[in-house]
Amino acid sequence: MLTTNPFAELSASYPDLFTPGVMQVYIILMVLFVIGGTIIDLMHKKSAKYFFGNAERSKKNAKRVLSSSEKNGLLVKTITNEVLTSSEFSNPKRRLSHLLIMYGFIFFVVATAVMIFAYPTGRGDATPAIWPLLWHLGALMLCVGGYWFWFAIRVDVAAEGKPWYKIAPRADMFILSLLATCTFALIWSFTKGMGIFFALFIISSTFLFSTVIWSKFAHMFFKPAAAYEKKVVWADGSREGLPDMPDLSSAEVHEKFPDIPTYMGKTPPDMGPGIRREPANHY
Amino acid sequence: MPTYVHMTRCDGCGQCVDICPSDIMHIDTDIRRAYNIEPDMCWECYSCVKACPHNAIDVRGYADFTPLGSSVRVRRDEEKGVIAWRIIFRNGKKDWDLIAPITTKPWGTAIPDLNTATAPSDEMRNSDLLYNEPKYVRFDEGGLHTLKTNKLVMKEGVYY
């Protein structure tokens, strides 16, 4: 069951209604929704204009010019750290949950596209077993990471003490439609046919991809760009206007700031955490 | 000029809320980010600017220490025990990196035990260091002033 292609079975059961063409058009339509939604979001919020304007302003404060090999190195680092391993998260629970949801979504979407475009017809078990397996695994990872986030990690629940059923409509659109999509996908795969679960699956996935303008969906495009820009800005010396924190034992620092060797000695020790000793919890 | 939060850099951790002496940094529960609820009451003490782990809070540099429109950004590094400032004039003519120590010993060590400290002598009281200080600092009326010696009790809870 985990190795049968549910879309091929659907197409075989209802050959007039669910032709491969219909399913493929649906996928293409969803992709267009995502692209169009992101572009309209960018234009409406003018985020691209502000992002690149900020980058230009930072360049003026830059202390050195980065070579293209340095920039490529930073791009690779962004991809390996922030994109592939979600290193932006310092909270381990949030990081693990995000990784589960992210990779689950990727497996699910890629397996869906492959099964619909490459193996849309024939018996369900004519498809190489890896794709339905990946599809089910992706949906399962989405469910595990997503429900864990929804019931325990979501900040309204974890920090504001709100019950898990209190929804903030616009903020929770993305996660709820993701959860609905993967849950109904799994239930439909096990119950088969064109029943209520298939309908709910299609409704929730259409909702997910068509509400890109209003939901948090587009963060997957903006975050890597922002992470890369931050790395560039820290490498070329503009540092968003923040000061440098050099090595306090260096002779250069001792010459420029004589207070440091006078009051802290030539090699100041690690002073330990101060006000950061406890996490903030009085709000 | 009062503080403002870059909502895109803030993650709602609440460090600024905890440290603000004026209690005007709050978390907006809709978008879960910090904001200054009463800019008129801001002391411009820079506590929230220094406390923010993401450097998401900014204060516009004021005319008494820098020309208007300068970018004034600070990083307080507790492990290194220094505070670093960077002031960039709006015409780009000056771009200072300044560093100063904020502690000479690791945090939490070398806290003086005031119980064992001796009271200042008359000579010290009349010197320029203590001459203008209030009586409880000069120990004019005996030992250290504490809540107990003044028969005061602190109630639990937050006082507004």
Neighbouring CB atoms inside 10 A of B19's CB total 18
Where residue B159 falls among pLDDT bands split at 50, 70, 90? low
pLDDT per residue as tens digits for the range A65-121: 999 999 999 999 999 999 999 988 888 999 999 999 999 999 999 999 999 998 888
Domain with CATH 3.30.70.20 in chain B: 3-101
Contact yes or no for A268 and B80 at CB 8 A: yes
Which residues of chain B are within 8 Å of residue A155 when distances are taken between CB atoms? 12, 32
Annotation marks residue B43 as catalytic:
yes
Q: What percent of chain A has pLDDT over 90?
A: 55
Per-residue model confidence as pLDDT tens digits over A223-263: 899 899 999 999 988 888 899 889 999 999 999 999 999 99
- CB distance A155–B12 less than 8 Å? yes
Catalytic residue among B43, B85, B96, B107: B43
The pLDDT assigned to A25 comes to 95
Residues of A in contact with B99 (CB under 8 A): 243, 245-246, 253, 256-257, 260
Residues forming beta bridges with residue B82, ordered by sequence position = B77, B101
Beta carbons of A260 and B99 less than 8 Å apart: yes
The domain B3-101 is placed in CATH, from the list 3.30.2040.10, 3.40.50.920, 3.30.70.20, 3.30.300.10, at 3.30.70.20
b/e map of A71-101 (b: 16 or more CB within 10 Å)?
eeebeeebeeebbeebebeeeeebebbbbbb
pLDDT band at A217, cuts 50/70/90? confident
Q: How far apart are CA B135 and CA B120, in angstroms?
A: 12
Residues of chain A in contact with residue B105, where contact means CB-CB under 8 angstroms, are 271
Provide the percentage of residues in chain A whose pLDDT is more than 70: 98
A-chain residues near B53 (CB < 8 A):
276
- B115 has a pLDDT exceeding 80: no
Residues near A252 by beta carbon (within 8 Å), at least 6 away in sequence: A246
Quick check: B105 and A276 CB within 8 A?
Answer: no
Q: What is the ipTM of this complex?
A: 0.73
In chain B, the residue whose alpha carbon lies closest to the alpha carbon of A261 is B101
Q: What does pTM read for this prediction? A: 0.80
CB-facing half-sphere around the CA of A175: CA atoms within 13 A: 21
B34-85 pLDDT tens trace:
999 999 999 989 999 999 988 999 987 777 788 888 889 999 999 999 999 9
Helix/strand number for chain B, H first, E second: 4, 7
Report pLDDT for A140: 96
Cα gap B64→A189, rounded to integer Å: 69
* b/e A249-281 (16+ beta carbons within 10 angstroms → b): eeeebeeebeebbeebeeebeebbebeeeeebe
Given an 8 Å threshold on Cβ–Cβ distance, is B86 in contact with A269?
Answer: no
